[in-house]
Amino acid sequence: MKVAWLDEIQWTEDGLVPVIAQLQDSGRVVMFAWMNRESLVLTVAEGYAVYWSRSRNRLWRKGEESGHRQKVIDMQLDCDADVILLKIEQEGGIACHTGRESCFYRSLKDGAWQATEPVLKDPKAIYK
């Protein structure tokens, strides 16, 4: 697919671009993921984040199992055109598969990574 704005992106050798998801209201970074051309086009068309899952090797509509979708409010490309920032509204208030608001919930303290954010919902209750 030939689309001018897609061609401005500096894709990795495997056709991906890193994506940061940030809460529109607070500015908190809640997730990092990857997109390919198809997932980026779908994100723009649908208004909700669609990522490329490297582990599943397929498109991944954020919230397809959990219901915790990410409504895209704004999309920005960095100065090097190699990272995308999504400003989102996080449905359900949970972005992480661990049941937390953010995937960034561990802080380095006393030489070890320690969980500093609470689990808002047990993952067993989220994923069937």
What are 44-100's pLDDT values in tens digits? 999 999 999 999 999 999 999 999 999 999 999 999 999 999 999 999 999 999 999
The DSSP bridge partners found for residue 77 are 84
CATH code of residue 10: 3.10.20.810
Which residue in 26, 27, 34 sits closest to 62, CA to CA? Answer: 34
Question: Domain of 92?
Answer: 4-126
Which amino acid is located at 73 in the chain?
I
Average pLDDT of the residues in 27-45: 98
Band (pLDDT 50/70/90 cuts) for residue 1 is low
- pTM of this structure: 0.92
* Percent of the residues in the chain that have a pLDDT greater than 70, as a whole number: 98
- The CA-CA-CA angle for residues 67, 47, 58, to 5°, reads 65
CA atoms within 13 A on the CB side of 1: 11
- Per the structure, how many domains does the chain have? 1
